[in-house]
Structure 1
């Protein structure tokens, strides 16, 4: 069964003469348990698709179906138990005055969980931090540790689909592999479905089963990862991206 289906998605900002079409006619489908990548240059519309799915980009048309349920302009609370997002910048996505315990505890409380203490401890263990980080604040954490907290927060509602918006691009190269391996392990352990945005084809090749190549708001080609690794693309822009990544 499909976990996410996007059909003829258009996303725009502004209106009339100021309107900018950020995504034009995008369509793709992600089966349950698959990891699917969106690649392309900055401004190609990759992150805008994630924002349209979560409701952060309100002006869109087309159809978005999550786990068999077509979603409208307003997301019900149950949507966020199924879909969570990990943002690019762990420095900006965590409240500077909230401890790790508050960040995770408040998320669990919002989603109606009761055994919050034990769940906070398990979440920290699951992302490789442990209890010693529970009462620390973001300024006491490294970039990689902050992103682990952000991933733990996304896992708190026990979602089936994670939207990953360049989850390692703001981190030191030495830490990027650790976070990618953590995400791969979590997907295997929890049966998660991923939609990952990245400009780095090596990251997509490591993390994803298939990928869509975007240019100027449009999906120009969908490839499986075997074709990516074999440098086999049909569209000239996809070929150009692959050649530039060597």
Structure 2
């Protein structure tokens, strides 16, 4: 069974003459343990798909089954134990007055995770920070360190699936590589499934096996990462994206 099965997904905002269709008839499946990428220009609808899966897009139609649960208008508490999201901006995603310890302990308390004290230490080790960061505030951390805390928070309830919304785009190039390597290691060590949004083909090529190219709310083409690296796209739009990003992909 697929970890994620999306069929004929439409997402829109507004009504009547003000309606804007952000995602149009999108279907895809993601296998357990796979990393699937969504790429495209700004406004192509890729982040909206993640928000629809997470329950943050109120108006949608189609069928979504995620982590064994058929999704409706709301999400169960069990869903959020199995599916977590890492957002783009590590500066905005952490409460400025909460220590790392409080950020992680509140996430675990919310989901009834036992032995919080021990688990916090393990999470900090898993994301490459260590116990010395436990009682620091966000303003005492670099951008990369904050994103590591955000990833640790997402892992706090031992999820099966991570939705990654441009997780490196707000970071310096040197730090981006560190976070991508961390995500690759965590996926292997925790048997995670990823859906990753990025505008950077080099980023998704580093982490994903398959990539869906989006344009104006639709899937243009789905191709394997090897096809992407060899510029073996069938659609002219995809070929244009690949050719313009060839240096970052390779």
Deviation at 1:113, TM superposition (A): 1.4
Query: CA–CA distance in 1 between the matches of 2:51 and 2:232?
Result: 30
Please name the residue that 2:133 is paired with: 133
Please name the residue that 2:61 is paired with: 61
Query: CA–CA distance in 1 between the matches of 2:179 and 2:51?
Result: 22
TM-score (norm 2): 0.97
1:16 aligns with 2:16: yes
Please name the residue that 2:120 is paired with: 120
Please name the residue that 1:206 is paired with: 206
Aligned CA-pair RMSD: 0.6
User: SS at the partner of 1:90?
Assistant: coil
Query: CA–CA distance in 2 between the matches of 1:113 and 1:28?
Result: 32
Runs of at least 5 residues in structure 2 that lack an aligned partner in the other structure: none
Query: CA–CA distance in 2 between the matches of 1:51 and 1:113?
Result: 25
- Pairs within 5 Å for 1:94-105: 94-105=94-105
Please name the residue that 2:217 is paired with: 217
Query: CA–CA distance in 1 between the matches of 2:75 and 2:56?
Result: 10
Q: Contact 2:85 / 2:163 at 8 angstroms: preserved in 1?
A: yes
Aligned length: 246
Which contiguous aligned blocks of 4+ residues in structure 1 show a shift greater than 6 angstroms? none
Query: CA–CA distance in 1 between the matches of 2:69 and 2:91?
Result: 33
Query: CA–CA distance in 1 between the matches of 2:114 and 2:189?
Result: 23
User: SS at the partner of 1:149?
Assistant: helix
Query: CA–CA distance in 2 between the matches of 1:172 and 1:68?
Result: 37
Please name the residue that 1:161 is paired with: 161
Runs of at least 5 residues in structure 1 that lack an aligned partner in the other structure: none
- Pairs within 5 Å for 1:1-246: 1-246=1-246
Instruction: Encode CA deviations 1:10-56: one digit per residue, 9 max, x unaligned.
Output: 00011111110000001000000000000000000000000000011
Query: CA–CA distance in 2 between the matches of 1:116 and 1:68?
Result: 27
Deviation at 1:203, TM superposition (A): 0.9
Query: CA–CA distance in 2 between the matches of 1:117 and 1:151?
Result: 18
Query: CA–CA distance in 2 between the matches of 1:67 and 1:130?
Result: 30
Query: CA–CA distance in 1 between the matches of 2:74 and 2:125?
Result: 34
Instruction: Encode CA deviations 1:186-228: one digit per residue, 9 max, x unaligned.
Output: 0011110000001111111110000100000000111011100
User: SS at the partner of 1:61?
Assistant: strand
